[in-house]
A and B are shown apart, each in its own frame.
Chain A
Amino acid sequence: MRERLRIGDEAVDVSAVLAVDGAARVSLGGQEYSVEAVELGDGALSFYYGERRYSFHVLARPGTVSVCDGPHYYNFPLIEEGATAEEAGGNGQLTSQMPGTVLKLLAAPGASVAKGTPLLILEAMKMEHEVCAPADGVVTGYPKQAGERVMPGDLLVNFEAS
């Protein structure tokens, strides 16, 4: 099986072929790796790679693979067949992660903004949250106006990174 994951800013083809003895051959972006003694169950994954044993917690859900490496957490979005370069690259769109109300739009559509510039204020759980530019770029529009309710996954700002 072969899938594409977004790792950092890159779309990476990944595949893993497991043998009955617990060894596996994993391909990451064309690079081949051998791992051994793979065990996976109830969210716990361990294997040998090189001379070391690694243990993680993992969760593969539709659309995302998550890895917990001790204190560190990683989410790798799955890229669907036929996704555009922009979706694959992940730069662009700011979505709401929680239900709330758009309180205020802070940047004018068309404005060039620096990374970290507040673009919009979202009210949720009686707190105001600023949504900021993820990179230097241009605000191309706001799908929701001030006062509108938003749900998790709703697009808040159309943004083009420069």
Chain B
Amino acid sequence: MQARAPGLPLHYNTGVLKRVLIANRGEIACRLIRGCRELGCETVAVYSDPDARALHVRLADNACHIGAAAPAESYLNQAKLIDVARAAGCDAVHPGYGFLAENADFAEAVEAAGLIWIGPPPAAMRGMGLKIEARETARAAGAPVVPGFEDATASDEAYAQAAKAIGYPVMVKASAGGGGKGMRTVEAPDKLSAALAAARRESQSAFGNDTVYLEKLLIRPRHIEIQVLADMHGRVVYLGERECSIQRRHQKVVEETPSTAVSPALRAEMGAAAVAIARQVGYVGAGTVEFMLDQAGHYYFLEMNTRLQVEHPVTEFVYGVDLVHWQLRIASSELLTLAQEELRPRGQAIECRICADDPAAGFLPAVGRVEVYSEPRGPMVRLDTMLYAGCEVGADYDPLLGKLIVWAPDRSAAIARMACALADHCILGVTTNLPFLYDVITHPAFAAGATDTSFIGQHFPSWAAPPPDVPVQLAAALALAGRGRAGRPTAAAELDGTAQATPWQSLGRWSNT
């Protein structure tokens, strides 16, 4: 593939990074490619068999096939990725999120190959990679942690005693976990051993590590996380919070900043705690310190994500920064020139995660080809997506298709803008959660800011589309009638010069039959 001319480099590109391997796929690969191009860096995409026609492959300057669909043979194939980076003349590797983003062994291998790792130092990743160690680091930094029990060698009986001492309900969590995998809520003692077994099984299968630990289950907490940026020269700042309380099975669905529950004083306190944790672990780059905020306003350290987060765009809108640019600049040894006192939130940003799952069928992942597609437009509407008309959505990877992000001067305006943008976004051919997102965003409890992690379970114990009204049924009948006969001008129409005919005319052609 021919390399495309790089974009006009921004003035602050110091030229350290000339070509970056994007070791990821999907919407985040597209996001990273755009960020690189704006800084004048070329990009090399990688793709597995089913991703040959993926959007990130089209966007990148160059693209290399790396293997079969199974992640172990492609996006998790460390040796292959490093070979590709060297062969393509890259000077750096950006891992995105997921896949190898929090794999310290891979970061070390990248550096050992003479390449720049666009992420934190491997030691900092190790310090935060296993949740049990991360809790110790947070304690050492003086941050409160959720009460728990974390003896990896203990018997199930010892766990049962610890759970009793902590007090039910408790959470069983995978030490290597993330994204809700290897996590179980236990309401009563008789359910504990089954939950331990299930969490170990899921953790072993997802992370190759079956160590679990216990945490007290906070009642209806909010999930509040703090974005931090740290450079190689000892400067660390926080960029406010993101509230990610709207979760389904511990997977974030809607995120926003600022949180309705965080006052300027609490923001400063949690921000300082996050900065202390980042310093404690020797952090460099963009990272996120996750906390739980209980109903009484007490916060507890949960974990640190040593990478760019899915929901980073809300912070970008409200703080007026480009986090990917900063990742690249920090990796180029630049000084972090953001001053903490100048980082103030402005307006409100909300993000919705668009997933290929069917809300009417218990959110089972859906597959298909995007046959009809239109994107939302308008001021302060951002769509980070992997989709395009004709794109195939398979079952090989995470069901996240993209993210819709809006900004407005205040929260109610942002909610209205998001509702309109969701209604404007049409995806037909693969079932998505778009209608569910709309119902969440327009729910009165969301408008009231009454958001905690029980939101979906409480307000949406089940979900069904509203019954179709007469116009919708008329639309179905008309679509059926026009099936295969509308949309594209026929060859005859092109010949007789009516190829620009209105769609109705092409439908009218058969109406006499």
Contact = CB atoms under 8 A, between A and B. Distances in A.
B480 interface: yes
Given A28-B474, A71-B422, A124-B395, A41 B506 contact: yes
Name, among A20, A60, A96, A152, the residue most crowded by chain B CB atoms within 10 Å (CB to CB). A60
Contacts of B366: 97-98
B399 A40 contact: no
Interface in B462-513: 462, 465-468, 470-484, 486-487, 502-504, 506-508, 510-512
Interface string B109-146: 00000000000000000000000000000000000000
A57 B372 contact: yes
A61 B371 contact: yes
Interface stretch (B213-221, B228-236, B357-365): B357-365
Contacts of A8: 467-468
Contact of B486 (A19, A41, A116, A123): A41
B102 to A, nearest CB: 16
A85 interface: no
A56 B71 CA distance: 38
A27 B476 CA distance: 11
B294 interface: no
Contact of A44 (B364, B427, B503): B503
B398 A24 contact: no
Contacts of B507: 18, 38-41
Nearest to A53: B471
A26 B478 contact: yes
Contact of B508 (A20, A42, A68): A20
B419 interface: yes
Given A41-B503, A59-B479, A97 B511 contact: no
A162 B504 CA distance: 46
A97 B471 contact: no
Nearest to A68: B426
Given A22-B504, A97-B366, A65 B462 contact: no
Given A16-B477, A61-B371, A73-B435, A129 B426 contact: no
A116 B475 contact: no
A3 B481 CA distance: 9
Given A28-B477, A43-B487, A125 B202 contact: no
Contacts of A68: 372, 426-428
Contacts of A38: 478, 504, 507
B462 A116 contact: yes
User: Which residue, A5, A38, A100, A131, has most C-beta atoms of chain B within 10 A?
Assistant: A38
Nearest to B502: A39
Interface residues of B, number: 66
A116 B486 CA distance: 41
Contacts of B480: 1, 3, 5, 14, 16, 60, 65, 78
A103 to B, nearest CB: 9
Contacts of B487: 40-43
A131 B365 CA distance: 12
A15 interface: yes
Contacts of A56: 471-472, 475
Nearest to A71: B438
Interface in A88-137: 96-100, 116, 122-132
B350 interface: no
Given A126-B181, A129-B364, A74 B477 contact: no
A18 B481 contact: yes
B450 interface: no
B374 interface: yes
Q: Which 8 A-B pairs have the closest CB atoms?
A: A41-B503, A43-B372, A71-B438, A58-B479, A16-B481, A18-B511, A70-B423, A60-B483
Interface of B: 180-181, 198, 202, 205-206, 358, 361-367, 371-374, 395, 397-399, 419, 422-424, 426-429, 431, 434-435, 438-439, 462, 465-468, 470-484, 486-487, 502-504, 506-508, 510-512
15 contacts: A1-B480, A16-B477, A16-B480, A18-B511, A27-B477, A39-B502, A40-B503, A49-B474, A54-B471, A54-B475, A67-B476, A68-B428, A71-B438, A98-B395, A131-B364
